[in-house]
Protein backbone atom coordinates (compact mmCIF):
# COMPACT_ATOMS: atom_id res chain seq x y z
CA UNK A 1 0.00 0.00 0.00
CA UNK A 2 1.24 3.48 -0.86
CA UNK A 3 1.79 6.02 1.85
CA UNK A 4 0.71 9.64 1.36
CA UNK A 5 4.08 10.83 0.09
CA UNK A 6 4.39 8.02 -2.48
CA UNK A 7 0.82 8.57 -3.67
CA UNK A 8 1.40 12.32 -4.06
CA UNK A 9 4.58 11.65 -6.02
CA UNK A 10 2.66 9.33 -8.35
CA UNK A 11 -0.16 11.83 -8.95
CA UNK A 12 2.24 14.71 -9.48
CA UNK A 13 4.39 12.71 -11.90
CA UNK A 14 1.30 12.08 -14.02
CA UNK A 15 0.41 15.78 -13.95
CA UNK A 16 3.95 16.79 -14.89
CA UNK A 17 3.78 14.42 -17.89
CA UNK A 18 0.57 16.13 -19.01
CA UNK A 19 2.09 19.59 -18.54
CA UNK A 20 5.12 18.62 -20.65
CA UNK A 21 2.75 17.22 -23.26
CA UNK A 22 1.09 20.58 -23.85
CA UNK A 23 4.32 22.55 -24.06
CA UNK A 24 4.16 22.60 -27.88
CA UNK A 25 0.41 23.03 -28.28
CA UNK A 26 -0.65 25.69 -30.77
CA UNK A 27 -4.38 25.69 -30.07
CA UNK A 28 -6.30 27.05 -27.10
CA UNK A 29 -8.47 23.94 -26.50
CA UNK A 30 -5.91 21.63 -24.83
CA UNK A 31 -4.68 24.49 -22.68
CA UNK A 32 -8.20 25.22 -21.44
CA UNK A 33 -8.48 21.55 -20.49
CA UNK A 34 -5.24 21.88 -18.51
CA UNK A 35 -6.78 24.75 -16.54
CA UNK A 36 -9.71 22.47 -15.78
CA UNK A 37 -7.24 19.84 -14.58
CA UNK A 38 -5.62 22.49 -12.37
CA UNK A 39 -8.95 23.28 -10.72
CA UNK A 40 -9.75 19.58 -10.30
CA UNK A 41 -6.39 19.00 -8.63
CA UNK A 42 -7.04 21.81 -6.19
CA UNK A 43 -10.48 20.37 -5.45
CA UNK A 44 -8.96 16.92 -5.05
CA UNK A 45 -6.49 18.26 -2.54
CA UNK A 46 -8.95 20.34 -0.51
CA UNK A 47 -11.91 17.92 -0.66
CA UNK A 48 -10.19 14.52 -0.46
CA UNK A 49 -6.61 14.80 0.73
CA UNK A 50 -6.82 17.60 3.29
CA UNK A 51 -9.72 16.06 5.31
CA UNK A 52 -7.75 12.84 5.89
CA UNK A 53 -4.73 14.69 7.21
CA UNK A 54 -3.29 12.60 10.05
CA UNK A 55 -2.74 14.04 13.45
CA UNK A 56 0.12 13.00 15.65
CA UNK A 57 2.91 10.69 14.39
CA UNK A 58 1.95 10.78 10.68
CA UNK A 59 1.75 14.56 10.50
CA UNK A 60 5.42 15.01 9.56
CA UNK A 61 5.09 12.62 6.62
CA UNK A 62 1.95 14.46 5.60
CA UNK A 63 3.70 17.83 5.57
CA UNK A 64 6.51 16.35 3.45
CA UNK A 65 3.93 15.04 0.96
CA UNK A 66 2.10 18.37 0.97
CA UNK A 67 5.30 20.22 0.07
CA UNK A 68 5.41 18.20 -3.16
CA UNK A 69 1.95 19.45 -4.12
CA UNK A 70 3.00 22.81 -5.54
CA UNK A 71 0.36 22.94 -8.26
CA UNK A 72 0.92 26.62 -9.06
CA UNK A 73 4.58 25.97 -9.88
CA UNK A 74 3.73 22.89 -11.94
CA UNK A 75 1.21 24.74 -14.07
CA UNK A 76 3.38 27.81 -14.68
CA UNK A 77 4.53 26.46 -18.12
CA UNK A 78 0.88 25.94 -19.09
CA UNK A 79 0.04 29.55 -18.25
CA UNK A 80 3.05 30.82 -20.21
CA UNK A 81 2.08 28.65 -23.18
CA UNK A 82 -1.52 29.90 -22.97
CA UNK A 83 -0.27 33.50 -23.17
CA UNK A 84 1.92 32.68 -26.18
CA UNK A 85 -0.87 30.85 -28.02
CA UNK A 86 -3.41 33.54 -27.18
CA UNK A 87 -1.08 36.24 -28.46
CA UNK A 88 -0.57 34.36 -31.72
CA UNK A 89 -4.30 33.74 -32.12
CA UNK A 90 -5.11 37.34 -31.26
CA UNK A 91 -2.78 38.63 -33.97
CA UNK A 92 -4.44 36.30 -36.49
CA UNK A 93 -7.92 37.42 -35.41
CA UNK A 94 -7.00 41.10 -35.70
CA UNK A 95 -5.39 40.56 -39.11
CA UNK A 96 -8.50 38.75 -40.36
CA UNK A 97 -10.77 41.47 -38.96
CA UNK A 98 -8.73 44.20 -40.65
CA UNK A 99 -8.72 42.26 -43.92
CA UNK A 100 -12.47 41.78 -43.76
CA UNK A 101 -12.90 45.45 -43.01
CA UNK A 102 -10.80 46.39 -46.05
CA UNK A 103 -12.52 43.97 -48.42
CA UNK A 104 -16.14 44.61 -47.56
CA UNK A 105 -17.96 47.85 -47.74
CA UNK A 106 -20.46 47.58 -44.95
CA UNK A 107 -23.18 49.90 -43.92
CA UNK A 108 -22.65 51.91 -40.73
CA UNK A 109 -25.14 49.70 -38.89
CA UNK A 110 -23.21 46.51 -39.79
CA UNK A 111 -19.89 48.11 -38.86
CA UNK A 112 -21.21 49.00 -35.41
CA UNK A 113 -22.48 45.44 -34.99
CA UNK A 114 -19.08 43.95 -35.88
CA UNK A 115 -17.27 46.46 -33.68
CA UNK A 116 -19.47 45.48 -30.72
CA UNK A 117 -18.86 41.81 -31.48
CA UNK A 118 -15.11 42.44 -31.61
CA UNK A 119 -15.21 44.31 -28.28
CA UNK A 120 -17.15 41.48 -26.64
CA UNK A 121 -14.64 38.95 -27.96
CA UNK A 122 -11.69 40.78 -26.42
CA UNK A 123 -13.47 41.44 -23.15
CA UNK A 124 -13.79 37.65 -22.86
CA UNK A 125 -10.02 37.24 -23.10
What is the reported pLDDT for 2? 61
Q: Classify residue 32 by burial, with Cβ atoms within 10 Å: 0-12, 13-18, 19+.
A: exposed
The answer to whether 15 and 41 are in contact (CB under 8 A) is: yes
Comparing 10-24, 78-92, 105-119, which segment has the lowest mean pLDDT? Answer: 105-119
Tell me the average pLDDT across 90-102.
Answer: 82
What is the reported pLDDT for 5? 65
What is the reported pLDDT for 44? 80
CA gap 85, 125 in Å, rounded: 12
Q: Please spell the DSSP secondary structure of the chain, one letter per residue.
A: ---HHHHHHHHHHHHHHHHHHTTT--SHHHHHHHHHHHHHHHHHIIIIIGGG---STTHHHHHHHHHH--HHHHTHHHHHHHHHHHHHHHHHHHHHHHHHHHH----HHHHHHHHHHHHHHHHH-
pTM of the model: 0.59
Burial call 57-68: b when 16+ CB within 10 Å, e when fewer: eeeeebeebbee
Q: How confident is the model at residue 70 (pLDDT cuts 50, 70, 90)?
A: confident
CA gap 68, 15 in Å, rounded: 12
What is the reported pLDDT for 62? 66
Query: How high is the mean pLDDT of the chain?
Result: 76
Q: Which of 43-47, 89-93, 95-99, 112-116 has the highest average model confidence (pLDDT)?
A: 89-93
Amino acid sequence: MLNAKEYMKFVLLEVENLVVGVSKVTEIGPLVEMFELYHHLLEFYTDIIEPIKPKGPGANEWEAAKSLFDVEQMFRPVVKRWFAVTETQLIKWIDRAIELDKVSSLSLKKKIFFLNLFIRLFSFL
